[in-house]
Structure 1
């Protein structure tokens, strides 16, 4: 069970006073607080602070909400980290503190594969083809690798993935740049 002192500390991180009541029974209040605290974590945040926040989140009695919070945090962090090694180092503490959160662990693994695909498309291909639709869509939307796009256009797990990959290949071959929005 969450300790009142832990919630008070989180509210202090975001410069707010903890409410006298309501937070313990309302996962929406806690979810918003967790997001606000994790959003404040940047490259400049000490590892101890982020570790403490994650440690509080994983103790939340609503495990689904806790896992959703951490997936949100990982999804927010991933685009900011270039090399796979930098991203892996950044999310290592999250993975260690949340061993029973299978969906989170899978999302971390998938982001690591997305990052590896940027520098080693050939070495990442088998994992991408065997991956989830989310992973394949993310690769199709972010990669410029002709190898990956061709493979996903032919063998993607959904029509959306196959069509998007084929469209990206056609645009690349005609010199049309994709719409960044």
Structure 2
């Protein structure tokens, strides 16, 4: 066989490729991450590719949320995902969450304007009492308000 080995050939089945991409993205080094994300996004099944990448972005952003390297990672990911509006939007919402995590006096209006996903994630991952109180009082959905209220009650214990 010429070119890549059979083991390196992408599977014809999008479910197999999706699983393969998730594994590759989970194992990728930080130096190779941009290249791999770009390669995944060139898959002909754009919906599947974006789904794999958004899972990766969510996992990595959560890992890096308080890390000093987050801004550089964010910029690199915004560049490689620039053609995919949904992915850039998700990254920007992670930046809102980071801003609140780093300085809980910032980002309240951005948080209220953010998507349901972002508000649900904020209620789950943020420790800022001010942000949780804001979501408990003014979160977009009953689910967000309840989750934020529960987190606030747990903090008081």
Which bin holds the TM-score, normalised by the shorter protein? 0.7 to 0.9
Equivalences for 1:30-109 in 2 at 5 Å?
30-42=17-29, 45-46=30-31, 49-83=32-66, 86-109=69-92
- Structure 2: state its 5+ residue gaps: none
Kindly state the Cα deviation for residue 50 of structure 1 after the two structures are TM-superposed.
2.1
Judge conservation of contact 1:149–1:168 (CA < 8 Å) in 2: yes
Unaligned 5+ segments in structure 1 are: 176-181
Using the alignment, how far apart are the partners of 2:28 and 2:119 within structure 1?
A: 28
- Structure 1 position 98, deviation (Å): 2.0
For the pair shown, which has the larger CA radius of gyration, 1 or 2? Answer: 1
- Report the 3-state secondary structure (helix = DSSP H, G, I; strand = E; otherwise coil) of the residue aligned with 2:8: coil
Residues 37/96 of structure 1: CA separation in 2 closer, same or farther (3 Å cut): same
Answer whether contact 1:74 1:91 (CA < 8 A) is retained: no
Distance 1:146 1:93 in 2: 31
From 161, 173, 176, the equivalent of 2:144 is 161
Please give the TM-score of this superposition, normalised by the length of structure 2: 0.86
User: Structure 1's 30 and 156: CA in aligned 2 closer, same or farther, altered over 3 A?
Assistant: same
Question: What residue is the counterpart of 1:17 in the other structure?
Answer: 7
**Normalising to structure 1: TM-score of the pair?**
0.76
Runs of 4+ residues deviating >4 angstroms: none
Contact 1:82 1:115 in 2 (8 A): yes
CA apart distance, 1:76 = 1.4
**Could you tell me how far apart the structure 1 residues matched to 2:27 and 2:88 are?**
22
| Cα offset, 1:54, TM superposition | 1.8
- The superposition leaves residues 118-150 of structure 1 with CA deviations (integer Å, 9 ceiling, x where unpaired) of 122221111001111111111111222221111
Deviation (angstroms), 1:91: 3.5
Deviations 1:28-61 (CA, angstroms, capped at 9, x unpaired): 222122212111124xx42xx2232122112111
Do the aligned partners of 1:83 and 1:115 also contact (CA within 8 Å) in 2? yes
What is the number of equivalent residue pairs in this alignment? Answer: 156
